[in-house]
Each structure stands twice: as C-alpha cells, then as structure tokens.
Amino acid sequence: MKKTLFLISVLFAAVISGCTNYAPDCSDPQTKNLVTQIVGESLTKILSEDTDFFQMVANSKNMTFHNTIKQVKLALTYPITVDKNNDTGAYVCKGTVEAEAYGKTESVPISYTSKITDSGNNFYVTVADLPERKQGILLTVLMTK
C-alpha cells in the first residue's frame, strides 16, 4: 500500500444551532457521523485502488473477497476528548472505528478533530491516523470463508 498517512477534512455545511463558539464535541452525533463518513469515503477509495491486492490476500487464505463497500457498517465508538481549546472552540479526539460485514467485526483506533470555522456558523472534522494498514484491517470484514 502506497500511503502511510491519510488525512482528510470535510466541511459540514449545516449551521450550528444556537450561539456558540465551540464545535460539536467528540461524542456529538454530528461529529461521529462525519468521522464515519470520512472513513467510509477513504475505504471506498482504497478498495477501488487496491481490489486486486485484497483479492490476492483472500485467495491466499482460501477466502472469498466481496468487493462491495455497501455491505460495511461503520461506527465510531469510545470517543474520548483529548484536548479542548477554549480560545478556538476546537476539540482533539480519539476513538475506535468499527467495521462490520458478513458477521465479522474489525476495529482500529483513530484520532480526529472537530473545529469551528472562522465565521462560527459551520464546523469541520479532520480524521488523522488512518494509514492504509488500518484501512486494510477494516476491509478484512469483506473476506469470508
């Protein structure tokens, strides 16, 4: 696998309700949904680029590789606030991403941030610490006997 670190940001387009100078915290459903969306997009990309590799690994283990990301359910569990910046309203977070498909579950630890934009009307989430190795672990749920 080619990359050692995958970093992606998504701008959340909805207006944050209320007058707040803080982004949604680490366990907020909006934050968790964006994290799983980002991870899902990353898995879709790596699956499209490295399908042959995953098929080869599955074949070497006498398994079948199901090349469909639609079967994978993602969840962010155990969110933890590592730091909160009172000046910027940003949160630094850790958690576990779980992937489930075909009765199998795999999980990997990740780091992510939730930050408010300068206007204070929107927020964005950045997912870090998701190298291709971790993505590959999550995608093994698509391998069955």
Residue 78 has pLDDT above 90, yes or no: yes
Given this model, what pLDDT does residue 119 score? Answer: 81
Whether the CB-CB separation of 26 and 91 falls below 8 Å is answered with yes
Tens of pLDDT, residues 79-98: 999 999 998 889 999 999 99
Percent of all residues in the chain with a pLDDT value above 90, rounded to a whole number = 74
| Structure tokens, 43 | 């898995």
Rounded mean pLDDT of 113-138?
91
Rounded mean pLDDT of 26-52?
95
| Structure tokens, 80 | 């933890």
Given this model, what pLDDT does residue 57 score? Answer: 93
- Strand stretches in the chain, DSSP E: 8-12, 64-65, 73-85, 90-101, 104-116, 123-128, 143-144
User: Rounded mean pLDDT of the chain?
Assistant: 86
Whether the CB-CB separation of 55 and 65 falls below 8 Å is answered with yes
Query: pTM for the whole thing?
Result: 0.84
